[in-house]
Amino acid sequence: MSMALDAPAMERIWLASYPPGVPAEIRRDDPGTLRGLIEGSCERFAPLPAFTCMGRTLSYARIDTLSRDFASWLQNGAGLRKGTRVALMMPNLLQYPVALFGALRAGLVVVNCNPLYKPRELEHQLVDSGAEAIVILENFARTLQEVLARTSVRHVVTTQVGDLLGLPKSLLVNAVVKRVKRLVPAWSLPGSVTFGAALAQGARRPLSEPALASGDLAFLQYTGGTTGVSKGAMLTHGNIVANLEQVRAWTGAGLEDGKEVVITALPLYHIFALTGGCFLNLKIGAHNVLITNPRDMPGFVKELARHPFSTLSGVNTLFNGLLNTPGFAELDFSHLKLALGGGMAVQRAVAERWKAVTGKPLLEAYGLTETSPGACINPLVEGAEYNGTAGLPLPSTVVTIRDDAGRILAPGEIGEICIAGPQVMKGYWNRPEETARAMTQDGAFRTGDIGLLTPEGYVKIVDRKKDMILVSGFNVYPNEVEDVVAMLPGVREVCAVPAPDEHSGETVRVVIVRKDPSLTREQVIAHCRAQLTGYKVPHIVEFWDELPKSNVGKVLRREVRDIPPRP
């Protein structure tokens, strides 16, 4: 979907607030492909460090070789052809960019999977996408084993945490993970290939890169919207490349090619980290330090101390966690140019404390999976301060605020935030009706978020999608949680809503009308833990006599949400 809204349709009041040198538009011709970006950056920055993880660094030249070899295996060893879907299921490891870039160079479509998925969640995503291959960290292979026979996956590549760390470190790390920490449940996937074997086989075969165009699919990036049914947002090469052009135009000379050291703590399977953490920094030849387990805050702070980092992006909870970790305040922040919060609202208290500790502002950006994700960002100028808004629309982006009838509202009026631009997805995979519902008649994407435009053109979000729960930047869809809870025989009715949480921003709260009076909170949580990824598991479980309903019997989630949790 290209941008349908042009200047006559909407006065772009935000342009007057643009920092000097930021253009109103990016190039409107063919933006190119991610393969072109990958190969161009690997050639341009060949001798420079590209990715570091667990103390091991790979240069751009090495990333070029390894991703080429993996692309060759996907093409020659697995026999995959342009447009075939390939799933990736790993945390931030050196294997991730190698597999990611290899799949894109082979003309394949990447399906990012959260490695913490439960079998039910993974099965849905693999079946819906029609993925024919998967690259998976063996820590999670048991999950795949349980669902593999019910999917279209024909090729499985397994990897271990230390596989690209070099000898002897790789052997030591893999042994500790498996035998000391016992983080690898027993698994059996007959016919699977190890990551090392795939690279070795691919290195012996030529790579024949298929023709690619900017309109070709690059990702099926899964998101649930407000329906609770996980959908694949179809993001093209052009969508991502255009978003990179937009953000690069915004950063201008503030970030220097080949000179930045970037910390990527958000998982690369998340759209924010994928575009902003991986591809943007690839574009500028940055040295990208991957954090495999950011929940280990003391370890995270030790890693930060090893690098003269200049940019750091994350969600509010990550910044808050760092601020509350001993040793963080003593780090050297003299190189820090940009701290960018997204994925969830940045809290004023966190932003103000961040500025006090680091001397640098914590700025907020706004976007969605369906917008690749960047849509708005605050100005990166000297003296910038937290302002409580999501920022200004990026170049070539039109943000409108609309009422229920689709009419564009004036600045200051509250309505649904709608976005048009070259970064807006092609649509939802195999869901034309949902795609149509998500778009306005003139081609803007309906975000479901409620907000306003200030007179200066800043976008201010006043509410989110009516029902969605946002836990540390990850979407939790009430319908999915309710479906799982309702599986319990002792549940008559259930309603899932968000509850404030000082650590994760929000947490899941479920209100249950019991069929079996003996049903306990512990039983509900144990059941959910077996069916849901950890961040989706309810932290608050309440039992009510009845749920508020409309005159047609629909549970009124907003009323439940507005009633404070009961002890």
CB 544 within 8 A of CB 513: yes
d(CA 436, CA 440): 8
CA 85, 278, 418 angle in degrees (round to 5)? 80
What is the value of pTM for the model shown? 0.88
Residues 6+ apart with CB under 8 A from 197: none
Tokens of 285: 């030849």
What region does 246 belong to: left with phi over 0, alpha with psi -120 to 50, or beta? alpha
DSSP 278-301: IIHHHHTT-EEEE-S-TT-HHHHH
pLDDT at 2: 44
Q: What share of the chain is helix, strand, coil (3-state, %, to 5)?
A: 35, 25, 40
pLDDT digits (tens, 9 = 90+) for 208-238: 999 999 999 999 999 864 455 689 999 999 9
pLDDT digits (tens, 9 = 90+) for 247-274: 999 998 789 999 999 999 999 999 999 9
The count of other CB atoms within 10 Å of the CB of residue 209 is 15
pLDDT at 227: 52
Residues found in the chain: 567
pLDDT digits (tens, 9 = 90+) for 453-495: 999 999 998 866 667 788 998 878 887 898 899 889 999 889 9
pLDDT digits (tens, 9 = 90+) for 503-541: 899 999 999 999 999 999 999 999 999 999 999 999 999
pLDDT at 15 over 90: yes
High-pLDDT (> 90) share of the chain, % = 80
pLDDT at 153: 98
pLDDT digits (tens, 9 = 90+) for 121-135: 999 999 999 999 999
Domain boundaries, the chain: 7-11+15-23+390-463, 58-212, 469-562
Q: How would you write 426-471 as a 3-class SS string?
A: CEECCCHHHHHHHECCCCCEEEEEEEEECCCCCEEEEECCCCCEEE
Mean pLDDT on 394-422: 95
Q: Superfamily for 7-11+15-23+390-463? A: Luciferase; Domain 3 (2.30.38.10)
pLDDT at 550: 65
Look over the chain and give the mean of its residue pLDDT values, rounded to a whole number: 93
Mean pLDDT on 2-24: 76
CB 109 within 8 A of CB 85: yes
Q: For residue 356, with 0-12 CB atoms within 10 Å meaning exposed, 13-18 middle and 19 or more buried, which class applies?
A: exposed
Tokens of 155: 């090729």
Domain 469-562, CATH:
3.30.300.30
Domain 58-212 has CATH 3.40.50.300: no
Residues 6+ apart with CB under 8 A from 302: 327
Residues 6+ apart with CB under 8 A from 342: 272, 276, 313, 315, 364, 365, 366, 367, 373, 473
d(CA 96, CA 264): 12
Residues 6+ apart with CB under 8 A from 553: none
CA 339, 345, 351 angle in degrees (round to 5)? 45
